[in-house]
């Protein structure tokens, strides 16, 4: 097991109205750490793309003890925890300047063949580079709580923008979380802190598409769907605590 660590200062434009690191950027920083790890080990995006392959994220489970403030220096460490021929489980841990763990993410990855657009075997050299525990089966993550038709829900449309697409030519992962939280509105978002986020990706959304973000709030839990056309693009549930 090889753990990789990056340092980051939370910049003002990564904060939201609360002065804390915004939710989507938590995912960006996580992906930054594992991308830098892969580049450092010689198996970065360029290497995988040359093989016609790419990592895709299937699910994130995020636990937040405390979101760091703008100006705080944090460390994000990551390692590939478990790996089998088709899936990889990765941990991300955010710690503050006092070394206290503030955010933890458990992520499930798969590899796809970029031309055939279907699952591919993870090449052994890439797997080996991260020195994970090789396992037969990777335990499934808990699914997000599902929104059902009997729940009263709200919805809003969002258009995929040019800056939502990253240099991998895909909608950046964090944008789904942006649409997911935005529908809740400022009143809710300023009165609550996200504590547990479970987001599962089902279908990729493309540039220029209009997605519908749906939410049902029950107590301090919100259940979300991101819909593109007739397809469920992502599903999420979030546990919140009320601010004092």
Give the shortest CB-28-to-a second copy separation in angstroms. 4
CB of 16 to a second copy, least distance (A): 6
Cβ-count burial of 41 within 10 angstroms (0-12 exposed, 13-18 middle, 19+ buried)?
middle
E strand or H helix that includes residue 243: none
In angstroms, what is the minimal distance from the CB of 124 to a second copy? 26
- Cβ proximity to a second copy: between 11 and 128 the closer is 11
CA distance 65 to 62: 10
Nearer to a second copy, 153 or 178 (CB): 178
Give the Cα separation of 33 and 78 in Å (integer). 7
Return the H-helix or E-strand segment holding 206: none
| CB nearer a second copy, residue 15 or residue 144 | 15
Residue 20 or 89: the one with the smaller Cβ distance to a second copy is 20
Positions that interact with a second copy (CB under 8 A): 11-13, 15-19, 22, 24-25, 28, 31-32, 35, 70, 156, 158-159, 161-163, 165-167, 169, 172, 174, 178, 181-182, 184-186, 189, 207-208
CA distance 167 to 149: 37
Q: What is the CA radius of gyration of the chain?
A: 18
Q: How far apart are CA 200 and CA 197, in angstroms?
A: 10
Q: How far is the CB of 82 from a second copy (least distance, A)?
A: 25
Task: Work out how close the CB of 158 gets to a second copy at its nearest, in angstroms, rounded to a whole number.
Answer: 8
Beta carbon nearer to a second copy, 17 or 139 = 17
- DSSP 3-state percent helix, strand, coil across the chain (nearest 5): 20, 45, 35
């Amino acid at each position: 097991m090889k753990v990789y660590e990056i340092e980051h200062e939370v910049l003002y434009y990564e904060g939201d109205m609360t002065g804390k690191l915004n939710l989507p950027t938590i995912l960006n920083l996580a992906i930054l750490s594992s991308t830098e790890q892969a580049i450092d080990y010689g198996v970065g995006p360029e290497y995988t793309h040359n093989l016609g392959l790419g990592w895709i994220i299937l699910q994130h489970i995020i636990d937040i003890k405390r979101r760091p403030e703008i100006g705080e220096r944090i460390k994000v460490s990551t390692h590939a925890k478990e790996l089998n021929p088709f899936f990889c489980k990765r941990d991300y841990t955010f710690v503050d300047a006092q070394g206290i763990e503030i955010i933890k993410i458990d992520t499930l990855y798969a590899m796809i063949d970029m031309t055939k657009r279907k699952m591919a075997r993870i090449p052994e050299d890439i797997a080996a580079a991260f020195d994970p525990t090789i396992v037969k089966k990777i335990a499934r993550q808990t699914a997000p709580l599902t929104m059902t038709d009997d729940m009263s829900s709200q919805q809003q449309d969002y258009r995929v923008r040019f800056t939502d697409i990253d240099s991998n030519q895909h909608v950046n992962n964090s944008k789904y979380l942006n649409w997911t939280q935005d529908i809740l509105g400022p009143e809710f978002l300023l009165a609550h802190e996200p504590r547990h986020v479970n987001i599962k990706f089902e279908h990729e959304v493309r540039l220029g598409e209009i997605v519908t973000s749906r939410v049902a709030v029950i107590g301090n839990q919100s259940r979300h769907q991101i819909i593109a056309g007739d397809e469920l693009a992502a599903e999420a549930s979030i546990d919140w605590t009320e601010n004092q």
